[in-house]
């Protein structure tokens, strides 16, 4: 009889032990994130991968045309370019959309090569420049005659690309956009006559253009 009572008590103790609730302090540590337990705010998210802001729409069908120009290298017509801004005037900075309608087939690798060449001619130097070129190589498709590539930049420095009217992607670094658009629009552009037509023949900023240089076989 004593053995049976002891066995029953032992079973009850074991059941209670297996089904016991955690202590109040343990429950807090299990359910609350570390920031709640310490009273500290969670660390801010890394902003290096910003998504494109709401105002980064294509806009070339909405904004007025500022100017347009055709790039012709020797006997080859390369593309028709057009610049759009909200006011229809070039103010020297973003926001803008630069549209390129290509008149010949061009591999994406050649576009990347010409981007690097233009930056080199302008003396551009940035710690992420080579990284950007690699990202552009992954982002851009091969160009077929008739394709349209649009580059957009907003006031905050966010930029984006569109291909044949559809979002293509972006380089999520606010240093990138001004340097890329500057290939066409900065006063030290390798193509001053093209820039002068894009920003408008009556624009005072066109006077900042440098004398036309001899063109090699360039695609920008």
Q: Is residue 38 part of a domain?
A: no
Mean pLDDT of 132-156: 97
**In this structure, are 192 and 84 located in the same domain?**
yes
CATH number of the CATH domain containing 128: 3.50.70.10
- The pLDDT value recorded for residue 56 is 86
- The pLDDT value recorded for residue 201 is 66
Domain count, the chain: 2
Mean pLDDT of 66-91: 96
What are 54-73's pLDDT values in tens digits? Answer: 568 999 999 999 999 999 99
Mean pLDDT of 199-219: 46
Mean pLDDT of 124-150: 98
Ramachandran assignment for 84, one of left (phi > 0), alpha (psi -120 to 50 degrees), beta (any other): beta
d(CA 177, CA 97): 11
Domain extent at residue 151: 65-208
- DSSP lists the bridge partners of residue 150 as 99, 162
Q: Is the pLDDT of residue 191 over 90?
A: yes
Q: Is residue 58 part of a domain?
A: no
Average pLDDT, the chain: 78
**In this structure, are 186 and 83 located in the same domain?**
yes
**In this structure, are 121 and 203 located in the same domain?**
yes
For 66, list phi and psi in degrees, rounded to 5: -90, -50
d(CA 105, CA 110): 10
- The pLDDT value recorded for residue 26 is 42
d(CA 179, CA 124): 8
Mean pLDDT of 76-97: 97
Q: Is the pLDDT of residue 32 over 90?
A: no
Report the run of H or E that residue 142 belongs to, with start and end: none
Mean pLDDT of 76-83: 97
- The pLDDT value recorded for residue 200 is 87
Using a pLDDT cut of 70, give the percent of the chain over it.
66
d(CA 126, CA 74): 32
**In this structure, are 112 and 199 located in the same domain?**
yes
Using a pLDDT cut of 90, give the percent of the chain over it.
64
């Amino acid at each position: 009889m004593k053995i049976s009572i002891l066995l029953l008590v032992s079973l009850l103790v074991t059941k209670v032990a297996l089904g016991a609730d955690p202590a109040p302090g343990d429950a807090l540590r299990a359910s609350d994130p570390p920031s709640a337990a310490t009273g500290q705010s969670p660390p801010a998210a890394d902003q290096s991968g910003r998504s494109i802001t709401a105002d980064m729409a294509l806009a070339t069908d909405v904004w007025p045309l500022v100017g347009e120009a055709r790039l012709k290298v020797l006997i080859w017509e390369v593309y028709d370019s057009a610049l759009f801004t909200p006011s229809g005037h070039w103010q020297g900075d973003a926001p803008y959309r630069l549209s390129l309608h290509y008149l010949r087939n061009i591999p994406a690798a050649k576009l990347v090569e010409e981007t690097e060449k233009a930056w080199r001619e302008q003396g551009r130097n940035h710690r992420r420049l080579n990284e950007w070129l690699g990202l552009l190589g992954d982002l851009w498709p091969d160009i077929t005659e008739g394709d349209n590539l649009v580059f957009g930049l907003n006031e905050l420095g966010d930029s984006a690309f569109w291909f044949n009217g559809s979002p293509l992607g972006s380089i999520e670094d606010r240093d990138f956009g001004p340097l890329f658009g500057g290939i066409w629009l900065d006063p030290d552009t390798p193509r001053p006559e093209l820039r002068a037509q894009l920003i408008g023949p009556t624009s005072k900023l066109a006077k900042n253009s440098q004398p036309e240089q001899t063109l090699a076989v360039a695609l920008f």
